[in-house]
Structure 1
Amino acid sequence: MSGEQGVSFDPKEHQHLRYNPLRDSWVLVSAHRMKRPWAGQVEKPPEEHIPKYDPKNPLCPRNTRANGQVNPDYDSTFLFENDFPALQPDAPDPGEDQHPLFQTRAARGICKVMCFHPWSDVTLPLMKMQEIVKVVEKWVEILEELGATYPWVQIFENKGAMMGCSNPHPHCQVWASNFLPNEPALSDRCQRNYYQKHGEPLLLEYARQEAERKVWRAHTQPFHFH
């Protein structure tokens, strides 16, 4: 069944399916529904005051963590092994004699925590430029070191209690594993297939096409004078 005759498609007004090349799947987009009245719950920003230094915070300099280790009096970044790691390098292999519906595989890796700054009341946007540079340089160092051993290294930061952040001190998690997680594995497969078919890296071609389309829109949109 075709759409309404004589009506031009507008992605902001008409629902459509949009292709996700990194998942080889289609997503329903209904942007016009953003105009509907909203009477649902609205979260208020936290009003708690975070001190620069908390003697009970296990991520602050000179404080003792859950495993009894004492943090150094660091003045920049601080990297240490996660006290409660989701991955360990020496986990035993489950074996291969398994029912096909109850399969398990070996999962090994390393989990680290990296503090960005000695103060608890700052975040990356509030840090000085040279302090942010040190954080990024440390990320690069970690990726190079762990990437030489593990096929997947993920550096991520949980922001806020709702997202699972258990400590307000500015820090991130580092997970290195002997396997690719589901989403990166799917993305890797899609990118390889695209390159084999078109001879161009998917993400580079996407960025090029997006830039060209923005330029085209800028030249085709009418000017409005007020």
Structure 2
Amino acid sequence: MLRLQHDSHRRLNPLTGEWVLVSPHRTSRPWQGQTEAKAEAAIPAYDPGCYLCPGNVRANGERNPAYEDVFAFTNDFAALLPNSPHDEIDNNGLIVARGEPGVCRVVCFSPRHDLTLSQMSVDEIEKVVTLWREEFQQLDQDPIVGAVQIFENRGAMMGASNPHPHCQIWATHSEPNELVKESARQRGYHAASGNCLLCDYLTLELEQEERIICANDGFVALVPFWATWPFETMLLPRRHLSALDAFDAEDSRALADMLSRITRCYDRLFETPFPYSMGFHQRPSDGDEHPHWHFHGHFYPPLLRSATIRKFMVGFELLGSPQRDITPESAAERLRHALLQV
């Protein structure tokens, strides 16, 4: 009989249809690979050279206002431009390219250069969530936008070029790869069962309780059964919401509270500012209702064993499929313990 905590096995991600290899017996193997420098926590509250701090001049010559809480602007080095052509190149289906217009925005969480979500109050984070909702509503109505992706890269290990607390919003004309996969799987499940995939999944997780980290009246934070990264987590609303524009004031408050809890939990785990990439998946912006879509957040942190040892996706992961040693259940237990120490 398969023992999930002891035997090597594969787990299916129902959101993407992809598999992850789990090898619990490898957790005791020695590490002689690369180690990272521990994240430096000493950052000034204001940096005169930071292009995101209030009152400072950005690269395009514009000066930031003396903002006092949240601040959003169009990215000065946008990966997507609204006037990009829609032309297509197709050479026998082998050399294919399509123009991709879009909009890129930057959201500063705070005027303080030295803060992170884990150090901000729930009231302060709620203002960020409210601004995300406003940004989504505006971009959702833009005729060139087909999908809105909100994401944050925290820490130099995850490619953040500036420590000032901020995130990005990329509004693309086409649906990105991950959104296409998740949309197809949720649509298929809804067509076959009449139910929402993530609503049913959350019900199972709440019954089993093995992978739940914390919860409030509106949201649940858990390590998904199919998690790829060692301490990957997912945020799920208890009620069926397809996108940020369906949020009411209580939903925004509940999400802010959960973001505060999970980021503080991460920082406590290895006693370091925990790096991660996080973002929210929500319905496409194509004008359809998408009743199968369930809003959710993903946290993908790279740390594996300590503040200086990270997980590398190489070798078999690149050529075959993702693999993990620490089981999602063990990761959830460690995160719950870390949360108790906050």
- Answer yes or no: same fold by TM over 0.5: yes
Query: Which consecutive unaligned segments of at least 5 residues does structure 1 have?
Result: 1-7, 216-226
The alignment's TM-score, normalised by the length of structure 2, stands at 0.58
Q: How many angstroms does 1:212 deviate by?
A: 2.0
Structure 1 match to 2:129:
136
Structure 1 match to 2:55:
62
Structure 1 match to 2:97:
104
Q: CA RMSD in A?
A: 1.6
Of 29, 36, 41, 2:34 maps to 41
CA distance in 2, matches of 1:201, 1:48: 42
Q: Give the secondary-structure state (helix, strand or coil) at the position aligned to 2:95.
A: coil
Structure 2 match to 1:27:
20
Structure 1 match to 2:188:
193
CA distance in 1, matches of 2:86, 2:135: 26
Q: How many angstroms does 1:208 deviate by?
A: 0.9
TM-aligned CA distance change 1:29 to 1:48, over 3 Å: closer
CA distance in 2, matches of 1:26, 1:125: 32
Judge which range, 89-98 or 195-204, deviates more.
89-98
| 1:167-199 Cα distance to aligned partner (Å, 9 max, x none) | 011100011111111111011001111111111
Structure 1 match to 2:156:
161
CA distance in 2, matches of 1:164, 1:209: 35
Larger strand proportion, structure 1 or 2?
Answer: 2
Q: How many angstroms does 1:47 deviate by?
A: 3.0
Q: How many angstroms does 1:32 deviate by?
A: 1.8
Q: Aligned residues: percent identity?
A: 47
Mapping 1:68-147, distance limit 5 Å: 68-96=61-89, 98-147=91-140
Q: Quick check: 2:82–2:102 contact (8 Å CA) kept in 1? A: yes
Structure 2 match to 1:219:
none
Q: How many angstroms does 1:40 deviate by?
A: 2.2
Q: Quick check: 2:90–2:97 contact (8 Å CA) kept in 1? A: no
Tell which structure's C-alpha radius of gyration is larger: 1
| 1:124-158 Cα distance to aligned partner (Å, 9 max, x none) | 11112221111111111111111223231111111
CA distance in 2, matches of 1:33, 1:92: 50
Matched AA of 2:83: D
Matched AA of 1:179: S
CA distance in 1, matches of 2:40, 2:201: 41
1:205 aligns with 2:200: yes
CA distance in 1, matches of 2:16, 2:122: 36
1:11 aligns with 2:7: no
Q: How many residues align?
A: 208
CA distance in 1, matches of 2:53, 2:162: 10
CA distance in 1, matches of 2:202, 2:88: 44
The alignment's TM-score, normalised by the length of structure 1, stands at 0.87
Judge which range, 39-48 or 108-117, deviates more.
39-48
Matched AA of 2:13: N
| Higher-RCO chain (CA-CA 8 Å, sequence separation at least 6) | 2
CA distance in 2, matches of 1:124, 1:97: 44
